[in-house]
Amino acid sequence: MSKVILVTGAGRGLGTDIVREALAAGHQVVATGRRPDEVEKSLGGPQDNLLVTKLDVTSLEDAEAAVQAAVDRFGRIDVLINNAGNFFAGYFEEITPAQMRRQIETNLFGPMNVTRAVLPVLPVLREQRAGHVITLSSSAGIIGQEFCVAYAASKFGVEGWMESLRYDVEPYGIHTTVVEPGFFRTELLVDGSTIWPEPTIDDYAERTTATVAAWKSMNGQQPGDPAKLARALLAIADQDKPLLRFVAGADAIEGVQAKAQELLAQAEASRELGGDLGYDDTGA
């Protein structure tokens, strides 16, 4: 069945693939980005089932305007795909407080802004008693990694928000899915999406230089195919009971399984000290 799908970050990488696959499948698509002319160009120009509109996800006003444009054009929204994001790489001591805030502003408050516009401010989905919010997290939202402290912080936040949002909106027939991809060729590691650190602390300088070189060499060599991921997301959007959490890619599945085992082991190891911390009935 044809749906109206709003996609953030549609001008490059996975966002472009999602829009192309959605259009090919017969859906009506609202493709958003900070530079709508570039978004439209990347998608091959104007199309009957395509609306391109400006959206900087850090702006709630932009989000509200994009949602209103979608409703004006197509009459409703069925699926929101929060895809926009960026990556501030580096070790914690070399990431400035301003950079950390910018990372979380884009990757966590950004999808919150768009979802806030779609749900309570302009309650398109809630009035329909239907709909689906899909938000791209990362395997780094489950597994902390070296050189990813800012990015992981933002994505761990996405995980908690989306896992809890489910309980808020599920009574209204609105589904939620948080997506945890591994390494895909999504342009995340290109200079336009990644902010690389400059070595400023001697203790980290050698590691920073080596890690930046290693990550840059990985770009274009990641094992995941973003077009296949886009098709998988559309398949989830078409499910009657969509996955609450979609772990995408063999590398991510392996990593999440290992993290789950580690958490179970840590919980068991905490039992002796942490298992009996309640009040003593004697009042002692």
Is the model more confident about 194 or about 12? Answer: 12
Most confident residue range from 73-77, 123-127, 193-197, 276-280: 73-77
- The residues that are catalytic are 151
Strand partners, 53: 32
Confidence at 122, pLDDT banded by 50, 70, 90: very low
Band of the pLDDT at 168, cuts 50, 70, 90?
Answer: very high
Is the pLDDT at 25 greater than 80? The verdict is yes
pLDDT digits (tens, 9 = 90+) for 170-188: 998 899 999 999 887 766 5
Give the number of other Cβ atoms within 10 Å of residue 128's Cβ: 14
Which tokens is 154 given?
A: 């933002």
CA angle 201, 105, 148 (to 5 degrees): 40
pLDDT digits (tens, 9 = 90+) for 158-167: 999 999 999 9
pTM (two decimals): 0.91
**At residue 127, does pLDDT exceed 80?**
no
pLDDT score, position 223: 64
Predicted confidence at residue 123, as pLDDT, reads 46
pLDDT band per the 50, 70, 90 thresholds, residue 126: low
Over the Cα atoms of the chain, what is R_g? 20
Q: Under 8 Å CB-to-CB from 49, ≥6 apart: which residues?
A: 23, 26, 27, 28, 29
* Mean pLDDT, residues 264-274 taken together: 93
The predicted-structure confidence for 221-261, as pLDDT tens digits, reads as follows 666 788 999 999 999 999 999 999 999 988 999 999 999 99
Q: What pLDDT score does 129 carry?
A: 64
**Of 37, 177, 33, 3, which Cα lies nearest the Cα of 114?**
33
Q: Is the dihedral of CA 238, 242, 244, 250 positive or negative?
A: negative
